[in-house]
Structure 1
Amino acid sequence: MEIVTSGDRPDLHEKAAAAFKERWPEFIFHDATSKKYMSRVKQHFGGFDITVLDNGAVAAGGWGVPIPWSGDADDLPSGYDEALVRAVQAREAGIPATTLSFMAAAVASAYDKRGLAKTVLQELTRRAHEAGLVHVIAPLRPTWKHRYPTVSMAEYAAWARADGLSIDPWIRTHQRMGARVLGPAPRSMVIEGTVAEWEDWTGMVFPATHDYVVPDALNLVRIDVDQDRGVYVEQNLWVQHR
């Protein structure tokens, strides 16, 4: 296996996007904050955007952003969106970062069950330490939370198996690496669209104003037919690595 950065191999962008897109629902790609800031994230933080190659094939990847964070739970960003904004604004204002926030990690389906997600997280952590960052955190999108969209993230995060680890596979991956749960990221992503857009993104029909259970959404989606608007506020879960 070989690990490269987006700066090393910009030609891999489309291949990586295609390999990992199946891991997330379509509506995730319509976050306005991400669209606004992602080009500057790529410009500033390419060293924290990595791809794992297997004889040239994209096997896994992940990325993070360096942010200023005091180490206090009260100073955490509200989630994914605010971490992006904080990272870019701090960099452009010359404010030193103290912390790497993992933002995403994914494994191509052909490489499942090989421990490559852990490889990605370990490599990003190594890079954070080399850069002098003292904390590593992540706003996790738990793998099974979409099965329980009416349950709060705080309650879901407390559900544990007999061995004390989370019932959720992605939370367990981080726990086995020594991470501890800090608490919910209450407003991690906000995705808005017209009713027609939400119907296109989900393959559903929304005939009335309601809070809907949507496939792969961690929380309910509010559809307002009169206002022709759908709003999804996703909760994630903050964890901190050693």
Structure 2
Amino acid sequence: MKYLRAFFIAAAMYSRLPVPNVRWDEESKEAVLFLFPLLGVIEAGLIYLLAGLLFRVSAGAPLSAFCLTAAPLLFTGGIHFDGFLDTADALGSWKGKEEKLAILKDVHAGSAAVLQGGLMLLAGFAAWLSLLESGNMPERLPQLLPIFLMSRALSALSIYLLPNARGAGTVYDFTAARARRKGRLISGFYLLLAAAALFGAGTLFTGACILAAVLLAALYSGARAALSFGGMTGDLAGFLLTNCETAGLIAAALAFRI
């Protein structure tokens, strides 16, 4: 029951799935990030169904690209993208660690968030448009789907590997010391599973390009978090996840055209 409660907590916080309200106890909270990456599997399945519908009705590449760009935001309620925006503002402030952490909690969006958020959405849209125009998308689509599991696995892994920047907050509650080792192992398993699916669903070259891009995006995001904030927070994990997803789609768009 603890894992079922943990999944419901993860789904309620990080998606718009209709799940029951459950009691938050210590055991359930510790298992939330164990199950969080599974939301990437559900998201990938919904994107697969949406893409199939768009192909069936011949929606056209621009409209399909818009729908596929918007789908993850609608599925998550924008929580990870919100973390990306908050992080963009904090990094763009060029202030000290404590001031950056304060900016992460500010509900207002600054110019850095607007600019970088707009560019990130355009990058995702352009990647989907390029993918759709490259041809054979119904056959190639399955190789894109592991990106959503992989990004969440790396997001969870970063939280378990790096110290908590605040020493408090929701993410801190999800990463009790006794759960960290198990969390790293489970996140690593998800990552291996996603990589296996990635290489099993398409060409070795495209899989290698996607994997390299996602891992580089995760390393970059984790390094920025460690150097600028002293560790991870929920917002920084969303920053990492958003970078990984977009990097994977861009790498796929380029690889499919080579």
More strand by share: 1
State the TM-score, normalized to the length of structure 1.
Answer: 0.31
Higher relative contact order by CA 8 Å / sep ≥ 6: 1 or 2?
Answer: 2
State the TM-score, normalized to the length of structure 2.
Answer: 0.30
